[in-house]
Amino acid sequence: MRIATWNVNSITARLPRLLAWLESSGTDVLCVQETKCTAEQFPAAELRELGYESVVNATGRWNGVALVSRVGLDDIVTGLPGGPEYEGVQEPRAIAATCGPVRVWSVYVPNGREVAHDHYAYKLRWLEALQAAVAGDAAGPRPFAVLGDFNIAPTDDDVWDRSFFEGSTHVTAPERAALEGLRGTGLADIVPRPLKYDHPFTYWDYRQLCFPKNRGMRIDLVYGNKPFADAVKDGYVDREERKGKGASDHAPVVVDLDV
């Protein structure tokens, strides 16, 4: 079984690449982030033509998450239970479903913007709610994983130059402590193997030739419980999908399971 996560940075802009990638990669379940569309605009019909069901939590031009599966979608949860609001709205940042033998969450963790910004405090509250929401499944006997754009680099090795991010979000101690809290529920960081470079970055800014220079970050993560981790046979970042015209600034992260 092949499961992947991909921040597509607008599913409308990325649709031809997404459809081609699903066909070529043999992915069974895809967790999508940053759809940047309404639920009505989501390309469910196009995905159905390829044999994929989909569920989406999206409300407009910002945020938005989805699950795309050709092995079923059951017990769907739309939104983060107990999740905080930002400016009076619970943003569309989480969706969960059971896909065949595996239960997954697709999450798009708030960016945080700046450490002194209200969005940073919101990010930490959101992560606290995520920990509470997944704790039961994390401790259970079924393979379970939370996949998505966490907007956090777990270690200093997960950014191209730690000094470049000094004082910025994505690398602060409270954010990394939130990831430690997730690990405390029984989830482990499933790190894909690097294919070309020493470290598997998943995001590269569009500016300043960051991708050609490999000035990236590993912020698209897979956190799985023990039954999930024990089933992992391979994993990689598909750097090829970050190349060329019309690419997202994130690459898909792919995990193969024997379940």
Q: Which run of H or of E encompasses 105? A: strand 102-108
pLDDT over threshold 90, residue 194: no
Specify the pLDDT at position 13.
97
Task: Check pLDDT > 80 for residue 204.
Answer: yes
Rounded to whole angstroms, the Cα distance separating 148 from 223 reads 9
pLDDT (average), residues 145-168? 96
Please state, in angstroms and rounded to a whole number, the distance separating the CA atoms of residues 101 and 69: 12
> What does the alpha-carbon distance between residue 127 and residue 150 come to, in Å, rounded to a whole number?
9
Q: With both helix axes pointing from N to C terminus, report the angle between 118-138 and 173-184 in degrees, rounded to the nearest 10.
A: 10
The SS3 call for residue 238 is coil
pTM of the model: 0.97
Q: Which of 158, 220, 238, 250 is catalytic?
A: 250
* Tally of CB atoms within 10 A around 132: 14
Section 175-198 average pLDDT: 91
State the average pLDDT over residues 209-227: 97
Choose, from 108, 120, 122, 223, the residue flagged as catalytic.
108
pLDDT category, 203, cuts 50, 70, 90? very high
pLDDT in tens, 220-230: 999 999 999 99
Check residue 214 and give its pLDDT. Answer: 94
Strand pairing class (2-7; 29-33) = parallel
Residue list, annotated binding site: 7, 34, 149, 151, 249-250
For the question of residue 161 being annotated catalytic, the response is: no
Q: Which residue segment(s) compose the domain that 242 sits in?
A: 2-257
Average pLDDT, integer, range 148-175: 96
Q: What's the rounded Cα separation, in Å, for the pair 107 and 94?
A: 5
Domain count, the chain: 1
How large is the average pLDDT for residues 99-126? 98
Nearest to 228 by CA among 57, 100, 108, 52: 100
Active-site residue, selected from the candidate residues 120, 122, 137, 149 = 149
- With contact defined as beta carbons under 8 Å apart, do 255 and 27 qualify? no
Closest by CA to 85, choosing from 127, 122, 114, is 122
Query: Is 199 a catalytic site residue?
Result: no
* pLDDT tens figures, 47-105: 999 999 999 999 998 999 999 999 999 999 999 999 999 999 999 999 999 999 999 99
Please name which of 62, 47, 117 lies closest in space to residue 92, comparing C-alpha atoms.
Answer: 62
- Does residue 149 carry a catalytic annotation? yes
Residues contributing to the annotated binding site for Mg(2+): 7, 34, 149, 151, 249-250
Tokens of 228: 């999930």
CATH number at residue 192: 3.60.10.10
- Can you list the pairs that 73-79 forms with residues at least 24 positions away whose Cβ atoms lie under 8 Å? 73/97, 73/98, 73/99, 74/98, 74/99, 75/103
